[in-house]
Structure 1
Amino acid sequence: MNDRRTELAANLAMVEERIVSACAAAGRKREEVTLIVVTKTYPASDVRLLHELGVRHVAENRDQDAAPKAAACTDLSLMWHFVGQLQTNKVRSVVTYADVVQSIDRIRLVSALSAAAVRAGREPVCLIQVALDAESGARGARGGVAPDGIEELATAVAEAPGLRLGGLMTVAPLAGPYAGRQQAAFERLLEFSSRLRADHPAANMVSAGMSSDLEDAVAAGATHVRVGTAVLGVRPRLG
């Protein structure tokens, strides 16, 4: 366990150095960017070590992994982010532990999440996931709503009981006009965020960037970066 703690501490230090450098290059303050460590496929013991090392935001993308892990860490002061594509039949479980749901991409999901949140007495923050590779009215290959669907979804979240509109999230697209152009993609997301804040001033979260492109996200103005591999190591292949 000490070896693992040492490994995580070293990796966190390297990621922190990258964020500090990216903030300096962009003329931003370090405290403007929140690091979310994506702990998917890794055990609750790693979450505990990360907490010891100062991490306060962790993310999961599968409810079947996240629910037991969150339950095993209820004594820790953590913000749990759900970042995966979310099926409506999982929302009742997800709202019991997720403080932030970053993958809102359809009205039906808003309705289901709202009902479950009210029933559970919870009020998760919701981010609209924007698919920069999606045509009008469609969803992206990795989830997310097309840009022209942001306004309708944001209004639905803002008006839904038990939910709070937090902002926008994206994953750098693998296809379409922004493929291989991460910073341009993230800058586009910031444009959408600016428009969103005109009607919803409190919706100021912009979640973008992962291990390979966090610098591009910071340069574009992201408020939250989601880093997994660079902190926890290369993930074991599943099944």
Structure 2
Amino acid sequence: MSLPECLNDMTFPCLDEAEFRIPTAEDLGVTPLEEKPKILLLYGSLRKVSYSRLVVEESARLLHRMGADVKIFNPSGLPLPDDADDNHPKVQELRDMMLWSDGQVWCSPERHGSMTGIMKAQIDWIPLALGSVRPSQGKTLAVMQVCGGSQSFNVVNQLRILGRWMRMITIPNQSSVAKAWLEFDDNGRMKPSSYYNRIVDVLEELMKFTLLTKDRSAYLVDRYSERVETAEQQTKRVGKRM
């Protein structure tokens, strides 16, 4: 897949370069990864001027600057859950991106006090298991939201519940941008603000957690109950052959 179009503009007018840090495995005291961390970004609005998309694009630039490979899923054309087969092209595209990723960023507007249906539909199309593979388990996750009015945390709280249900490692930090329509210029770039600084905080933390956990996620999510179940299934299979 081609790089996100937003990476054509890799300027950072809001960034204080003297204080910007790129997280590294060496600084964390862990073995460097053999490849760049792969981060998938999802947004929750299809409006022509979508502030959740603009936040995701700003995040993609920063993550790329921090050394990550990034992909952004465009939810336009994704059918409603259960209204199409699993082999629908947009469903397959989303699931392939999910499997590709090591970590993710989810950003949704708040609508009627909740995440949008567009955001929830993307998560609902991701099963807990694809054959023997759990596509979301053990991946890191950062959650963000944009608000049309005063600051709220309804959406990030809901996204945290979803992240836990999807067995993802959801980082402690989060971002909520109030009155998002005031925070972007005419070119769709974010203006300097504490909201921008918080987004940088969140992405730094996401990169750190991804560097820490990527090569250890299988161990981190290994479960006693599943080992017991697997052992019982194996015993039954062996018993049938005798």
Same fold (TM over 0.5): no
- Structure scoring higher RCO (CA < 8 A, sep ≥ 6) equals 2
Largest Rg, 1 or 2: 2
TM class by smaller structure: 0.3 to 0.5
